[in-house]
Structure 1
Amino acid sequence: MYRLLIPIDDDEDRALRQARFVTDQPYDLSEAEAVLTHVMHGREKDAPKSMQHPGRVASVKRAREYLEDHGVEVTTVEASAPPEDGIIELVDEVDADHVVMGGRKRSPAGKAVFGSVTQTVILKSDVPVTVTG
C-alpha cells in the first residue's frame, strides 16, 4: 500500500488539485491510500466538539469524493496545531510514503519562496514532498 498524506486547507480548488495529483500518478490506484488531514482553526475550533472533525470541512469533503470516485482508499485525521508540526508528526504516525501539499499562487518574486508551512514540511520531512500548483 502506498500511503499519501494530504494536508488540506480551506480552499476547495487547491484540495481538488492535490487530489488530481494523486490520481494522475502511474501507480495502481487500488494500491494507494490517501490520508487527508486538516488543522482546525478559527470558527472550526469554536464549534461543538462533536462537529470538530476534518471530514466536515468542505475542501476535505471535495477531495475525499474525488479520490473515492477514482478508487482511492481514503481516511481522514486531524493534524495538531501549529500545522507544520502537526503534519510532520502525522508523517510518522500514519507511516506516509509521500506528502502532497497544496501550493498557493504567488507573485513572480514570491515563487522563489514557499509559504512557511510548506517550507517547513519540505525541510523537516523524511519522505518526498510534492507541492501542487
Structure 2
Amino acid sequence: MYRVLVPVDSNTNRARHQAQYVARLPDADSAVAATVLHVAPPDRFTAGDEVSFSTIDSAATAAEELERAGVEVTRRADGGSVSRAIVDAVTDVDADEVVMGGRKRSGVTTVLLGSTVQDVLLSTERPVTVTGDGVSLGEGTRKVLVPVDGHEERARQQARYVAGLPGDPSAVEATVFYVFRHQDYTGAPSHEFADVDSAVIAAEMLEDAGVTVERVAEGGEVARRILRAAEDRTVDGIVMGGRKRSGVQKVLLGSTVRDVLLSAERPVTLTG
C-alpha cells in the first residue's frame, strides 16, 4: 500500500486540490491509503484533545473527496506546533509521500510557500509534493517531468520516486529533462542527452522499472526551460531533486528548485 500524508490548513480550496492530486495517483482506489491531518496551532487550541476533525471544513472536504474516489482515508487532528506535528506524523504513518498545499498572496503573481510548507520541505527526507492553489491533472496515463542536474544520486532518487508510484509502471510516462545552462545562443555546443551521466542513469532506471521514458536535453535558462517543458507536455507533476549543503543538518533548496516551486502551475514534488 502506498501511504500518503495530506496535511491541510483551513483553506478548503487548497485542501480539495491536495485531495484531487492524491486521487489521481495511479490505482489510487486500490493501492493508496491517505491520512488527512489537520493541526490546530497553539493560539487556537490549548490542548490537542480539543481539536475535532469533523468541525474543520477543509479537512472534512479533503477526506470526503478522497473517499468518493475510492481512496482509503484515515482522519487525524492534532494541536500544537504545526510543522512539528506534520513531521512527527510522517514517521507515525510511515508516509511514502507528503502532499502539501501551496499559498498565494495578494499583490504578487507567483505562489509563495508558507512557513509550514518550507519547514516540512526542510525537515523530512520523504518526498514532498506542493500542489498549489490549483491542480490540472489529465486522465489516463500519468505524465511527469523529471528535470535532473549533474548530481547522480539526486537523479537516482528522482527515478526511484517515479518508479515507486503506486500501480503499474506502464501507466506512467516520464520525460527525463536536462538543461545545459544558458547554452541557447548561436554557435552553442550541441546538446547531447547521452553526455550527461545523471540523465542517462535516471532514464535507464525508469526504463528498467517499466516506465515509458522520453529523453530530452536543451540549452537555456534552467528554471524557465523546465516550466516551459511542463506546460508543453501538459504533465501532471514535476519531480525535482533536493539539494544538501555541507556544514548544515538541513536540506537547503537550490535556486532552480525554489524558482520552479514558486512559479509552476502544476504540482511539484521534491524528492531529496
Which TM-score band (shorter chain)? Answer: 0.7 to 0.9
TM score, norm. by length of structure 2: 0.43
Structure 1 counterpart of 2:222: 83
Check 1:40–1:120 CA distance in 2 against 1; reply closer, same or farther (3 A cut). Answer: same
Rounded Cα–Cα distance in structure 2 between residues aligned with 1:48 and 1:82 = 15
Structure 1 counterpart of 2:197: 58
Check 1:42–1:76 CA distance in 2 against 1; reply closer, same or farther (3 A cut). Answer: same
Check 1:120–1:47 CA distance in 2 against 1; reply closer, same or farther (3 A cut). Answer: closer
In our comparison, the structure showing a higher alpha carbon Rg is 2
Structure 1 counterpart of 2:91: none
1:27 to 164, 167, 172: 167
Check 1:23–1:11 CA distance in 2 against 1; reply closer, same or farther (3 A cut). Answer: same
Unaligned runs of 5+ in 2: 1-140
Further displaced range: 58-67 or 21-30: 21-30
TM score, norm. by length of structure 1: 0.85
Task: Select the structure with the greater relative contact order (CA < 8 A; seq sep ≥ 6).
Answer: 1
Structure 2 residue identity aligned to 1:10:
G
Structure 1 residue identity aligned to 2:163:
T
Deviations 1:15-46 (A, max 9, x none): 00100011111132111011011111499x99
Rounded Cα–Cα distance in structure 2 between residues aligned with 1:48 and 1:86 = 17
Structure 2 counterpart of 1:99: 238
Rounded Cα–Cα distance in structure 2 between residues aligned with 1:98 and 1:54 = 21
Rounded Cα–Cα distance in structure 1 between residues aligned with 2:148 and 2:239 = 9
How much is the aligned-residue C-alpha RMSD, in angstroms? Answer: 2.3
1:79, 1:87 within 8 Å by CA — same for their partners in 2? Answer: no
Rounded Cα–Cα distance in structure 2 between residues aligned with 1:79 and 1:2 = 23
Count of residues in Structure 1 that have an aligned counterpart in Structure 2: 128
Structure 1 counterpart of 2:153: 13
Unaligned runs of 5+ in 1: none
| Deviation at residue 93 of structure 1 after TM alignment | 0.8
Rounded Cα–Cα distance in structure 2 between residues aligned with 1:80 and 1:94 = 18
Rounded Cα–Cα distance in structure 2 between residues aligned with 1:5 and 1:27 = 18
Question: Identity percentage over the alignment?
Answer: 37
Structure 2 counterpart of 1:3: 143
Structure 1 segments of 4+ aligned residues over 6 angstroms from their partners: none
